[in-house]
Structure 1
Amino acid sequence: MKRILLPFVMALLLIACADEKKETEPKPEKELSFSIKSIEKRLNDCEPEKGECTFISMIFPVAENDSIAAKNINREIENFLINTIDYQDEGGAEKPEELAETFIQNYKETAQEFPEYELPWEATINGKVAYSNPKIISLKFNTDIFTGGAHGYRSTRYLNFNAENGKLLHTEDIFSSEFIDYVEKDFRKKQNIPSNENINSTGMFFENDEFHLPQNIGLTEEKVILHYNAYEIAPYAAGNFIMTYSKSEIKQFLNLKANKPKA
């Protein structure tokens, strides 16, 4: 009888240990999904499409599940919205909803202080998911702001994230150090800047007379987009400078695991 019971008891112990291991192992995070949130505020319910209307409109993606990655991404998105529109150093808005109220209130205060001021303010941010896979998420935001002056502010901004933890990816996370030399040669060729002359010799104004990659780098399924906004490296009248490369073309410079060629 003992010979029969011993294997039976051992089998039960193995099953119990396996169940305990399953319970203690961390469950994998669900793949991130996004919804679109819209916040709009108008002065005196005016209609933007009819003109002469002070308004703010923000349309942006929101990471859906309650994971750490989603919280990190949503916090970075909110920070971007607030830092783009709210110019107060201290005591500014903490949430996009507050930002919309503050924008309208700031216009009212300006109009009261300067009764002759008649130009309406406008702020529009449209964001979307440009690219997403289990490793990488790239968000794109187009911004148009006018709060007086000779012309408004228009820009494109990309935010790239590690999809596993929601942390922002920086240039060095995306490219090897050799990539900047590759792009500079291409940039000089396209802008007719001699290789033996200063990068600013034809009217550019790269800081410290040294070429640098743009602040905004976008990712799609097949391409990498380098986007210099107006004012970043040249006068406003020169507009944007956009350089696009296929991932297959620059695969030797990519650090992103999802894009590395299989051995």
Structure 2
Amino acid sequence: MKRILWSFMLVLLCMACADDKKENEENLEKELAFSTKTIEKRLDDCEPEKGECTFISLIFPVAENQGKVSENINREIENFLVNTIDYQDDITSEKPEQLAENFLKNYQETALKFPDYELPWEVTINGKVAYKTEKLISIKFNSDIFTGGAHGYRSTRYLNFKAENGKLLKAEDLFTSEFKDFVEKDFRIKQEIPQDENINSTGLFFEDDEFHLPLNIGITEETVILHYNAYEIAPYSAGNFILSYSRNEIKEFLKLKNDEPKA
């Protein structure tokens, strides 16, 4: 009888181990992951490295394995690409492939309308996952765009997501309200703007003469980066304004606690 009982218990143990293994494998398969997608289009098969070439190159991460979460993240990435390249208000649903095709088409229409127009257009956007934990995902994009004019435009953009649902996070989701005052004081010191004077008194152009955090906030394991691109708060000639803080330095203002990457 004991031998039968032990045999039965052994079978149950094996079945439990098999179920645990299957569950772990399923969880591993469903874990949010990212692949990299590349879309490159060139007008008349020209070669960008040789110059005088109208082309577009998009390299960006694609979220996978998490259904609605992945859909939310990918939709925001696509919106970023559209808003960065195509400034028409009525464009809201272009996919990256169509966006690239339309970029070349728009150039051809411009060249046809102005026969003497010879300047090639160029777009290079390179995006990658800069930081990923169970709570937070930060994606960084570097963009170089030229579509005529005196010079091109180079920018850096960060998109931060709540890993649980793919929601795009804003500054107020990441920091307490006191963080803005902390940064403004530091910004004024570094830019030599008296604390009791208008934030734009030295030639900056913050909207409504009020300091605000940048749209672009990068997050890594150890650092928080605040990045104002050219044109955002000052003339193009002033370039970028970048503030960087260690997490430990501003930990009292962080809303996301215990946000460490997996070992």
TM-score, reference length from structure 1 = 0.86
Provide the residue aligned with 2:211 in structure 1: 211
Q: Does 1:107 align with 2:107?
A: yes
What's the RMSD between the two structures over aligned residues? Answer: 1.9
Residues 53, 120 of structure 2: 8 Å contact kept: yes
Deviations 1:151-185 (A, max 9, x none): 11211110000001000011110000000000011
Provide the residue aligned with 1:166 in structure 2: 166
Residues 30, 66 of structure 2: 8 Å contact kept: no
Q: Report the alpha carbon displacement of residue 259 of structure 1 after superposing the two structures with TM.
A: 4.0
Which residue identity is paired with 2:40? E
Provide the residue aligned with 2:47 in structure 1: 47
- Percent of pairs identical after alignment? 75
Which residue identity is paired with 2:107? Y
Residues 31, 66 of structure 2: 8 Å contact kept: no
Deviations 1:120-176 (A, max 9, x none): 000110000010001100000011111101111211110000001000011110000
**Aligned equivalents of 2:161 and 2:122: distance in 1?**
29
Residues 31, 134 of structure 1: 8 Å contact kept: no
**Aligned equivalents of 1:100 and 1:36: distance in 2?**
17
Query: Mean Cα displacement is larger for which, 196-205 or 223-232?
Result: 196-205
Provide the residue aligned with 2:222 in structure 1: 222
Which residue identity is paired with 1:30? K
Which residue identity is paired with 1:88? Q
Matches of residues 3-18 of structure 1 in structure 2 within 5 Å? none
Q: Report the alpha carbon displacement of residue 65 of structure 1 after superposing the two structures with TM.
A: 1.0
Query: Cα 1:91–1:255, aligned 2, differ >3 Å: closer, same or farther?
Result: closer
Query: Cα 1:209–1:256, aligned 2, differ >3 Å: closer, same or farther?
Result: same
Query: Cα 1:249–1:29, aligned 2, differ >3 Å: closer, same or farther?
Result: farther
Provide the residue aligned with 1:14 in structure 2: none
Provide the residue aligned with 1:147 in structure 2: 147
Q: Report the alpha carbon displacement of residue 257 of structure 1 after superposing the two structures with TM.
A: 3.1
Give the match's secondary structure for 1:109.
helix
Give the match's secondary structure for 1:179.
helix
**Aligned equivalents of 1:29 and 1:159: distance in 2?**
25
Q: Report the alpha carbon displacement of residue 91 of structure 1 after superposing the two structures with TM.
A: 5.2
Residues 79, 92 of structure 2: 8 Å contact kept: no
Q: Unaligned 5+ residue runs, structure 2?
A: 1-18, 20-26
TM-score, reference length from structure 2 = 0.86
Residues 93, 102 of structure 1: 8 Å contact kept: no
Q: Report the alpha carbon displacement of residue 187 of structure 1 after superposing the two structures with TM.
A: 0.4
Provide the residue aligned with 1:13 in structure 2: none
